[in-house]
Chain A
Amino acid sequence: MKPVLLIGLNYVREQRWVVLSLALYPPAMLVLLRAFDAHLTPGDLSAFLQQQASFAVLFAVVFAASAINQDRRSRRILGVLSKAVRRSQYIAGLLLGVWLFIAIYTGAGLLTLAVISRDSAAHGFRLMLSAYVAAMASSAVTMFFTTFLPPFLATLVAGIFLGIPALLQMLRIPWPNYAAPAFVLMRDITLAPDYHLRPDILLLAVAHALVFWVLASVVFSYRDIAVSIE
C-alpha cells in the first residue's frame, strides 16, 4: 500500500503547477462572475457546477492518458520499477495521483461555491461527488488503454469507449446502465435540472474503476517498459 501512496503523491508533486493552476480556475471564474453580475441565480451556479463536473472528467482522462508515457519518455519509470514495486502497484499509484488531482480540483470548486452561496453547497456536493466518481472510472478506463496505446490514441479510444452509450441512446438502442456508469453519471449531471445522488450508479462506477485498474495492471505486466516508445 505504501508504494501506491508514494507514487500517487509523487505524481501530484510532479504535476503541482498544473494542479495549482487548474485548482485556481473555479474560484477565479466564480469571482469574475460575481464581479460582473452580483446576483447569481441558483441556475447560474448549477450551470457553472455542471461545467466544472465535465472539466473534472475531461482532465481525468487527459492526465491518465499521459501518466505512464511521461515516466517512460523521461526514463524515470526505471528508477521506480527497479524497486520492490509491482506493476499493479505502479498503475494504482498513478491512478491515485490522478484521483488526488481531481479531488483537489473538484474540492476547490466546491469550497468556492460554499463561500459564495451556502444554499447551493449541498446540491454542489452531490454534483461534484458524482463527477468525481465518474472521473475515477473514466481515468481507469483511459489508463487501461494507455498501457498498450500511445497517449493521443488512448484518449481517443477511451473517449469513444466512454461515449458508446450516447451513440446507442441516439440510435434508440437499449443498453444497461451497469455497462457505462460514468456515462450515466455525467448524463444525469448535465441533463437533470434537479440532480439526485444515485448510490447504485456511484458504486458501479467505483467497481468499473477497480475492474479497469486490474485490466490495466494485467496488460501492463506484459509490456516491455524500457523499449523506446518514440
Chain B
Amino acid sequence: MTSVLQYEHVTKSYGLFGRRVAALDDFSLEVERGEIFGFLGPNGAGKTTAIHLALGFMRASRGSGHMLGQPFGHAATRARVGFLAENVALYHRPANTLVKFYGALNGLRDHALARHVRVVLEAVEMTEYRDRNVGKFSRGMQQRIGLAQALVNDPELLILDEPTSALDPLGRIAVRELLLRARSAGKTIFLSSHLLSEVEMICDRVAVLVRGRLLRIGKTADLLERRGVAVIVARGISNTQFAGATAQEGLVTITVPRAAQRETIERIWSAGGDIVSVTPQRRTLEDLFVELAGTDQADNRGEDFYA
C-alpha cells in the first residue's frame, strides 16, 4: 500500500503574537491508496483545517505534507483530486454548465468533458435537473451538484467534508453506495463526517481528532471492539446463578471480562446449560467518539466551569 495523503508533524496556528491558537498540533496521518478513511472530531477539532492544508488553501505553520506524491498546494496535482467543501457554495448557473465549468478548470475538454458531466450528473441522480439554475436548488440538491463537481475529473483521491449533511436518508444511501463503488474502482476517499453511523458502515479506517490532536487511529473494526469484554448467551440455566445476568425468552445473557470467559462457560456447562453464543462486545463509533471527545473536554475544562 502507498499513502496518497500524508501529514508529517503539521501544526497550524491562527492569530497573532501572544493570542495564537493551534488548530492542528503536531498532526501526523497517512491515508493509504484504495481505502475509505473516516476523519472524525467534534466541531472546532481541526478537521477542516487539515483538509484545507492538503488542498493548499492555507500553509502549515510547522511541518509538511504530501498529496499524491506532491507537496501540499501543488496545483497540477489537484487535477487528480476531487473536493467537496462543507456547506458547499456554488455559482448560480444551470447545473450542467456549472459542472462543465469545474471540469474545464481541471483540464477536461470537448467530448471527454461532456461525457464526464453526463456520467456524474447521472451518478448523483440530477440528470433531470441539468438545465435548472443551481441557485434555485434546495440544500440537498446543491450538495449533490457539489458532489458532481468533485467527481467530474474522475479523481484518484476524493476529499469530502460533510458530504451528506444536507441529504435525506435516500440521498445518503445513494452517496454511500457511490462511495463504495468508487472504492471498488480503486479510488481513495478521505471522509470527514459527523454522521458516525455512516462512517462506521463504510470506512476501512478511522481517525479521531480532538482540539487539533490525533487521539485515536486504526481499523474501524479494531477501534470498535471493546477489548476484554465478551457477551455469553446461554440456555437451560437460571440467571440468578450468575451476577449481572439477564434473562429473556429462555435465554440468559451474561457480560463477563474476557479473563473470566472460560470459567463462566465451564460453570454454565456444569449447571447443565448450553452455550448459544460467545461474542466479543463491540461498541458503536458514537460510544468511542463520546468517550474520546468527552475525556478530552473534561481534561481541559476548568474546575469551576459550572460554579
Contacts and interface: CB of A to CB of B under 8 A. Distances in A.
A84 B104 contact: no
A76 B55 contact: no
A225 B59 CA distance: 10
B58 A82 contact: no
Contacts of A2: 104, 107
Contacts, number: 72
Interface stretch (B78-86, B179-187, B292-300): B78-86
A79 interface: yes
Interface in A113-133: none
B289 interface: no
Nearest to A2: B104
Interface in A1-26: 2-3, 6-7, 10, 13-14
B81 A82 contact: yes
Contacts of A76: 89-91
A83 B78 contact: yes
Contacts of A86: 75
Nearest to B88: A79
A79 B87 contact: no
A169 interface: no
B290 to A, nearest CB: 28
Nearest to B55: A82
Given A83-B79, A84-B106, A224 B91 contact: no
A10 B91 contact: yes
B76 interface: yes
Interface string B141-163: 00000000100010000000000
Interface string A217-230: 00000101111000
A179 interface: no
A224 B57 contact: yes
A88 to B, nearest CB: 9
Interface in B92-150: 93, 101-102, 104-107, 149
A84 B105 contact: yes
Interface residues of A, number: 25
A79 B106 CA distance: 11
Contacts of A41: none
A78 B59 CA distance: 15
Contacts of A75: 85, 87, 89
Given A6-B101, A76-B91, A224-B57, A82 B85 contact: yes
A13 B133 CA distance: 14
B14 interface: yes
- Which interface residue of A82, A84, A222 has the most chain B CB atoms within 10 A? A82
A228 B270 CA distance: 68
A6 B89 contact: no
Interface in A177-230: 222, 224-227
Contacts of B56: 81
Contacts of A224: 57-59
A78 B150 CA distance: 12
B85 to A, nearest CB: 5
B14 A227 contact: yes
A220 to B, nearest CB: 12
- The winner among A7, A13, A83, A86 for most chain B CB atoms within 10 A is A83
A62 B52 CA distance: 29
Given A75-B89, A225-B58, 18 more contacts: A6-B101, A10-B91, A13-B93, A75-B85, A78-B85, A79-B102, A79-B149, A81-B55, A82-B57, A82-B83, A83-B102, A83-B105, A84-B78, A84-B105, A84-B107, A224-B59, A225-B57, A226-B52
Q: Closest 5 CB pairs between A and B?
A: A84-B79, A224-B58, A82-B83, A83-B105, A75-B89
Interface of B: 14, 48, 52, 55-59, 75-79, 81, 83, 85, 87-91, 93, 101-102, 104-107, 149, 153
26 contacts: A3-B105, A6-B101, A6-B104, A7-B105, A75-B89, A76-B89, A78-B57, A78-B85, A79-B89, A82-B55, A82-B81, A82-B83, A82-B85, A83-B78, A83-B79, A83-B102, A83-B106, A83-B153, A84-B107, A85-B75, A89-B75, A222-B59, A224-B59, A225-B58, A226-B52, A227-B58
